Protein backbone atom coordinates (compact mmCIF):
# COMPACT_ATOMS: atom_id res chain seq x y z
CA UNK A 1 0.00 0.00 0.00
CA UNK A 2 2.82 2.42 0.84
CA UNK A 3 4.56 1.47 -2.42
CA UNK A 4 1.44 2.30 -4.44
CA UNK A 5 1.09 5.70 -2.78
CA UNK A 6 4.81 6.36 -3.30
CA UNK A 7 4.53 5.53 -7.01
CA UNK A 8 1.54 7.83 -7.43
CA UNK A 9 3.31 10.57 -5.44
CA UNK A 10 6.39 10.35 -7.69
CA UNK A 11 4.23 10.55 -10.82
CA UNK A 12 2.19 13.52 -9.57
CA UNK A 13 5.23 15.44 -8.31
CA UNK A 14 7.11 14.88 -11.57
CA UNK A 15 4.09 16.02 -13.57
CA UNK A 16 3.74 19.10 -11.36
CA UNK A 17 7.41 20.07 -11.74
CA UNK A 18 7.31 19.40 -15.48
CA UNK A 19 4.14 21.51 -15.84
CA UNK A 20 5.85 24.37 -14.02
CA UNK A 21 8.86 24.24 -16.32
CA UNK A 22 6.62 23.93 -19.39
CA UNK A 23 4.55 26.97 -18.43
CA UNK A 24 7.33 29.21 -17.11
CA UNK A 25 10.51 28.16 -18.90
CA UNK A 26 8.82 26.73 -22.05
CA UNK A 27 11.06 23.67 -21.92
CA UNK A 28 11.20 20.67 -19.61
CA UNK A 29 14.76 19.68 -18.67
CA UNK A 30 15.84 16.07 -18.78
CA UNK A 31 16.74 16.19 -15.08
CA UNK A 32 12.99 16.19 -14.41
CA UNK A 33 12.05 13.48 -16.92
CA UNK A 34 14.78 10.87 -16.67
CA UNK A 35 14.34 10.02 -12.94
CA UNK A 36 10.68 9.19 -13.69
CA UNK A 37 11.72 6.81 -16.46
CA UNK A 38 14.46 5.25 -14.32
CA UNK A 39 11.99 4.72 -11.46
CA UNK A 40 9.55 3.22 -13.96
CA UNK A 41 12.17 0.83 -15.31
CA UNK A 42 13.03 -0.27 -11.77
CA UNK A 43 9.30 -0.70 -11.11
CA UNK A 44 8.94 -3.00 -14.13
CA UNK A 45 11.94 -5.06 -13.00
CA UNK A 46 10.52 -5.36 -9.46
CA UNK A 47 7.10 -6.33 -10.83
CA UNK A 48 8.75 -9.05 -12.92
CA UNK A 49 10.74 -10.29 -9.92
CA UNK A 50 7.67 -10.40 -7.68
CA UNK A 51 5.57 -12.01 -10.45
CA UNK A 52 2.56 -9.74 -9.94
CA UNK A 53 0.41 -11.59 -12.44
CA UNK A 54 1.15 -9.53 -15.54
CA UNK A 55 3.40 -11.35 -18.02
CA UNK A 56 6.89 -9.86 -17.99
CA UNK A 57 6.98 -8.93 -21.65
CA UNK A 58 3.72 -6.91 -21.73
CA UNK A 59 5.09 -3.69 -20.10
CA UNK A 60 8.19 -3.84 -22.28
CA UNK A 61 6.16 -4.23 -25.48
CA UNK A 62 3.81 -1.38 -24.56
CA UNK A 63 6.78 0.82 -23.59
CA UNK A 64 8.29 0.11 -26.99
CA UNK A 65 5.00 1.05 -28.66
CA UNK A 66 4.88 4.31 -26.72
CA UNK A 67 8.42 5.11 -27.87
CA UNK A 68 7.64 4.32 -31.54
CA UNK A 69 4.33 6.21 -31.61
CA UNK A 70 5.90 9.04 -29.63
CA UNK A 71 8.78 9.28 -32.09
CA UNK A 72 6.33 9.54 -34.97
CA UNK A 73 4.25 12.21 -33.19
CA UNK A 74 7.41 14.12 -32.27
CA UNK A 75 8.74 13.88 -35.82
CA UNK A 76 5.56 15.46 -37.19
CA UNK A 77 5.62 18.04 -34.35
CA UNK A 78 2.30 16.94 -32.91
CA UNK A 79 3.81 16.32 -29.47
CA UNK A 80 7.06 17.43 -27.90
CA UNK A 81 9.73 15.10 -26.64
CA UNK A 82 8.92 15.87 -23.01
CA UNK A 83 5.29 14.88 -23.54
CA UNK A 84 6.30 11.49 -24.94
CA UNK A 85 8.79 10.87 -22.12
CA UNK A 86 6.14 11.77 -19.55
CA UNK A 87 3.66 9.31 -21.09
CA UNK A 88 6.38 6.65 -21.07
CA UNK A 89 7.31 7.36 -17.45
CA UNK A 90 3.69 7.36 -16.30
CA UNK A 91 3.04 4.00 -17.93
CA UNK A 92 6.22 2.44 -16.57
CA UNK A 93 5.74 3.67 -12.99
CA UNK A 94 1.98 3.19 -12.71
CA UNK A 95 1.16 0.55 -10.06
CA UNK A 96 0.06 -2.78 -11.51
CA UNK A 97 -3.17 -2.63 -9.48
CA UNK A 98 -4.14 0.60 -11.24
CA UNK A 99 -2.89 -0.25 -14.74
CA UNK A 100 -6.23 -1.04 -16.29
CA UNK A 101 -7.77 -0.25 -19.64
CA UNK A 102 -10.54 1.99 -18.17
CA UNK A 103 -7.90 4.12 -16.43
CA UNK A 104 -5.83 4.58 -19.59
CA UNK A 105 -8.94 5.37 -21.68
CA UNK A 106 -10.02 7.96 -19.12
CA UNK A 107 -6.46 9.34 -18.92
CA UNK A 108 -6.22 9.82 -22.70
CA UNK A 109 -9.70 11.34 -22.97
CA UNK A 110 -9.18 13.74 -20.04
CA UNK A 111 -5.74 14.77 -21.32
CA UNK A 112 -7.05 15.45 -24.82
CA UNK A 113 -10.02 17.40 -23.46
CA UNK A 114 -7.80 19.50 -21.18
CA UNK A 115 -5.36 20.14 -24.03
CA UNK A 116 -8.20 21.15 -26.35
CA UNK A 117 -9.68 23.50 -23.75
CA UNK A 118 -6.24 25.05 -23.20
CA UNK A 119 -5.72 25.60 -26.94
CA UNK A 120 -9.20 27.12 -27.31
CA UNK A 121 -8.61 29.43 -24.34
CA UNK A 122 -5.26 30.58 -25.73
CA UNK A 123 -6.81 31.07 -29.18
CA UNK A 124 -9.72 33.09 -27.78
CA UNK A 125 -7.44 35.32 -25.73
CA UNK A 126 -5.09 35.69 -28.73
CA UNK A 127 -2.14 34.39 -26.70
CA UNK A 128 -1.46 31.47 -29.00
CA UNK A 129 1.81 32.99 -30.20
CA UNK A 130 3.95 29.89 -30.52
CA UNK A 131 3.53 26.84 -32.72
CA UNK A 132 4.45 24.75 -29.67
CA UNK A 133 1.57 24.10 -27.34
CA UNK A 134 2.28 23.65 -23.64
CA UNK A 135 0.75 20.19 -23.28
CA UNK A 136 2.34 19.05 -19.99
CA UNK A 137 -0.25 20.87 -17.81
CA UNK A 138 -2.97 19.05 -19.74
CA UNK A 139 -1.21 15.75 -19.01
CA UNK A 140 -1.12 16.64 -15.29
CA UNK A 141 -4.80 17.57 -15.11
CA UNK A 142 -5.81 14.59 -17.27
CA UNK A 143 -3.88 12.22 -15.02
CA UNK A 144 -5.41 13.64 -11.84
CA UNK A 145 -8.95 13.57 -13.28
CA UNK A 146 -8.56 10.00 -14.53
CA UNK A 147 -7.00 8.82 -11.29
CA UNK A 148 -9.77 10.37 -9.21
CA UNK A 149 -12.64 9.28 -11.46
CA UNK A 150 -11.51 5.65 -11.75
CA UNK A 151 -9.73 5.02 -8.42
CA UNK A 152 -10.67 7.95 -6.15
CA UNK A 153 -12.36 5.90 -3.42
CA UNK A 154 -9.58 3.31 -3.30
CA UNK A 155 -6.84 5.92 -3.01
CA UNK A 156 -8.70 7.87 -0.34
CA UNK A 157 -9.25 4.58 1.53
CA UNK A 158 -5.50 3.91 1.46
CA UNK A 159 -4.68 7.37 2.78
CA UNK A 160 -7.28 7.63 5.53
Neighbour count for residue 18 (Cβ, 10 Å): 24
Region 59-81: mean pLDDT is: 87
Whether the model pTM is above 0.85? yes
For 10-45, how does the pLDDT look when each residue is reduced to its tens digit (9 = 90+)? 999 999 999 999 989 888 999 999 999 999 999 888
Instruction: State the pLDDT at residue 26.
Output: 83
Q: How confident is the model at residue 46 (pLDDT cuts 50, 70, 90)?
A: confident
Amino acid sequence: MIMILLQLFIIIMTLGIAAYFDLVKKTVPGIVLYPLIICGFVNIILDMAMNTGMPAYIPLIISGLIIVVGFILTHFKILGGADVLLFLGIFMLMPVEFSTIPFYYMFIICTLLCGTLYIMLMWLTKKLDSPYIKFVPAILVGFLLALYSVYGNEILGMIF
